[in-house]
Structure 1
Amino acid sequence: PSEAIHINLVGYSTDKTIKSADLYIWMGDGGARDYSSFQNKNVYLYNVLTNDTASVGKVSFWMKKTGTDVGYYDLTGSDVWNADFSEYSTPGTYRLAIEDVGCSQDFVIADSVYHDPFMVALRGFFYMRIGQNSTGGIRPVPRRPLYIPGVSPSNTKVYLTTMHQWHEKWSSFSSGDVWDNPDAWAVFRKTGNPTNPNAKGGHSDALDWDRHLGHVCIIYDMLLPFFLTAGALTDDNCGIAESGNGIPDILDEAKNEVDFWLNLRDGQGYASGLTNPSDDNEFFQAAPTAMAAWANAANAAMLADCFRIGNHQSLKQQYLDSARAAWVYASGLTDQMLDKTLGLGDIIIQGRDLKMMAAAFLYNLTGETAFEDVVKQLSVVNSSTSELDKSNNGSGFYQVWGTAAYLLTSQPIHYTELHTNMKASIISQAKTKEANFSAKRPSRRATDEITWYFRTAQNVHRCMIAHAVTNLDSDKSLFRKALTLEADYGLGRNLLNMIQMTTASTPLEKKRSVLNAYTSGGDDGTPGMHPGHTPYMNLDDWYCDMTMGCPSRLYANAYPADFKKNWPADEGYFNTRYVWAHNEFTPQQTMRGKMALYGYLYGIDKKNFHLR
Structure 2
Amino acid sequence: MSGGGILLVLALACATAQPVGEGEARVNAVGWPPDGPKRALVVIRFDDVVPADFEAPFTVRNGSGEQVLRGRTDLLGPSVASGDTTALADLSKVARPGHYRLRIESLGIDAPFTVRERPYRGLAEDALQFFTLWRANLDTRERDCWYSPHGCAFTHGPAVPSDAWAERPGGPWDVSGGWLDAGDFGKYVSSGAVTAVTLLALAERYPERFADGALRIPEHANGVPDLLDEATFEVDWLLRMQEPSGAVHHKVHGTNWPSGPIDPSTITEVRRLQPVSTEATLAMAAVAARASRLWRPYDAARADRYLEAARRAFAWAEANPRTFYLRSTPDDVGGGDYPIDDPPPRDPSTWGTDERYWAAAELYVTTGEAFFRDLILASPVRYGTTTPQWGDLDLFGTWALATSGLPEAADARSAILAAADARIAAAAGNPWLLSRPDDAPLRWGSNGDIANEALVVMAAHALDPREDRLPAVASALDHLLGLNPLDRSYVTGYGHPDRRATNPTSHWFQAVGRALPGLLVGGPNSVLVEDEHTPRTGAPARRYADIERAWASNEIAINWNAPLAYLAVFLDEETR
Match of 2:99 among 94, 109, 120: 94
Amino acid at match of 1:583: N
Distance 1:199 1:64, change over 3 A: same
Q: In structure 2, how many angstroms separate the alpha carbons of the residues matched to 1:572 and 1:513?
A: 15
**What residue in structure 2 maps to residue 479 of structure 1?**
469
**What residue in structure 2 maps to residue 255 of structure 1?**
232
Distance 1:400 1:582, change over 3 A: closer
**What residue in structure 2 maps to residue 598 of structure 1?**
568
Alpha-carbon deviation of 1:453?
3.9
Q: In structure 2, how many angstroms separate the alpha carbons of the residues matched to 1:231 and 1:3?
A: 44
Partner SS, residue 501 of structure 1: coil
User: Deviation digits for residues 518-577 of structure 1, max 9, x if unmatched?
Assistant: 12443454x521333333344558577xxxx2336x69xxxxxxxx33xx4444443321
Q: In structure 2, how many angstroms separate the alpha carbons of the residues matched to 1:220 and 1:31?
A: 50
TM-score where L is the length of structure 1: 0.71
Amino acid at match of 2:92: S
Match of 1:494 among 464, 481, 484: 484
| Mapping of residues 537-552 of structure 1, within 5 Å | 537-538=523-524, 540=526, 549-551=531-533
User: Deviation digits for residues 339-391 of structure 1, max 9, x if unmatched?
Assistant: 666768999996564455445445555xx431x652353246799x9644499
Q: In structure 2, how many angstroms separate the alpha carbons of the residues matched to 1:573 and 1:290?
A: 34
Match of 2:59 among 39, 43, 55: 43
User: Deviation digits for residues 458-498 of structure 1, max 9, x if unmatched?
Assistant: 22232122222237xxxx33432211111111112123332
**Is 1:369 equivalent to 2:363 in the alignment?**
no
Partner SS, residue 491 of structure 2: strand
Match of 2:424 among 422, 435, 452: 435
Alpha-carbon deviation of 1:217?
0.9
Match of 1:405 among 394, 400, 409: 400
Alpha-carbon deviation of 1:514?
0.6
Identity %: 17
Q: In structure 1, how many angstroms separate the alpha carbons of the residues matched to 2:343 and 2:459?
A: 19
Partner SS, residue 436 of structure 1: helix
Alpha-carbon deviation of 1:158?
0.7
The answer on whether the counterparts of 1:338 and 1:350 sit within 8 Å (CA) in structure 2 is no
**Is 1:146 equivalent to 2:159 in the alignment?**
yes
Q: CA RMSD in A?
A: 4.0
Distance 1:246 1:570, change over 3 A: farther
**Is 1:129 equivalent to 2:135 in the alignment?**
yes
**What residue in structure 1 maps to residue 376 of structure 2?**
378
Alpha-carbon deviation of 1:285?
1.6
Q: In structure 1, how many angstroms separate the alpha carbons of the residues matched to 2:115 and 2:497?
A: 14
Match of 2:443 among 449, 452, 461: 452
Distance 1:288 1:319, change over 3 A: farther
Partner SS, residue 446 of structure 2: coil
The answer on whether the counterparts of 1:9 and 1:105 sit within 8 Å (CA) in structure 2 is no
The answer on whether the counterparts of 1:25 and 1:33 sit within 8 Å (CA) in structure 2 is no
| Mapping of residues 125-524 of structure 1, within 5 Å | 125-134=131-140, 135-136=142-143, 137=145, 138=148, 139-142=152-155, 146-149=159-162, 157-160=165-168, 189-190=169-170, 194-196=171-173, 198-215=174-191, 216-229=193-206, 232-234=209-211, 236-237=213-214, 239=216, 242=219, 247-267=224-244, 269-278=246-255, 281-287=269-275, 291-307=279-295, 313-315=297-299, 317-330=300-313, 332-333=315-316, 335-338=318-321, 353-354=354-355, 356-358=357-359, 360-361=361-362, 364=365, 368-370=367-369, 374-379=372-377, 387-389=384-386, 398-409=393-404, 411=405, 413=406, 415=407, 418-432=408-422, 434-447=423-436, 449=440, 451-457=442-448, 458=450, 459-460=452-453, 461-470=455-464, 476-503=466-493, 512-524=499-511
**What residue in structure 1 maps to residue 25 of structure 2?**
5
**What residue in structure 2 maps to residue 578 of structure 1?**
549
Structure 2 spans left out of the alignment, 5+ residues: 1-21, 257-267, 326-338
Q: In structure 1, how many angstroms separate the alpha carbons of the residues matched to 2:178 and 2:480?
A: 26
The answer on whether the counterparts of 1:501 and 1:533 sit within 8 Å (CA) in structure 2 is yes
The answer on whether the counterparts of 1:140 and 1:524 sit within 8 Å (CA) in structure 2 is no
Distance 1:578 1:591, change over 3 A: same
Partner SS, residue 271 of structure 2: strand
**What residue in structure 2 maps to residue 559 of structure 1?**
none
**What residue in structure 1 maps to residue 5 of structure 2?**
none
**What residue in structure 1 maps to residue 515 of structure 2?**
529
Alpha-carbon deviation of 1:266?
3.3
The answer on whether the counterparts of 2:387 and 2:456 sit within 8 Å (CA) in structure 1 is no
Amino acid at match of 2:115: V
The answer on whether the counterparts of 1:382 and 1:421 sit within 8 Å (CA) in structure 2 is no
User: Deviation digits for residues 79-102 of structure 1, max 9, x if unmatched?
Assistant: 212221223333x13223214345
The answer on whether the counterparts of 1:39 and 1:58 sit within 8 Å (CA) in structure 2 is no
The answer on whether the counterparts of 1:129 and 1:142 sit within 8 Å (CA) in structure 2 is no
Q: How many pairs are equivalent?
A: 510
Partner SS, residue 298 of structure 2: helix
Structure 1 spans left out of the alignment, 5+ residues: 69-73, 151-155, 161-188, 556-563
The answer on whether the counterparts of 2:246 and 2:312 sit within 8 Å (CA) in structure 1 is yes
User: Deviation digits for residues 387-421 of structure 1, max 9, x if unmatched?
Assistant: 44499xx9x96421111112112x4x3x2xx3332
Q: In structure 1, how many angstroms separate the alpha carbons of the residues matched to 2:511 and 2:24?
A: 37
The answer on whether the counterparts of 1:236 and 1:249 sit within 8 Å (CA) in structure 2 is yes
**What residue in structure 1 maps to residue 262 of structure 2?**
none
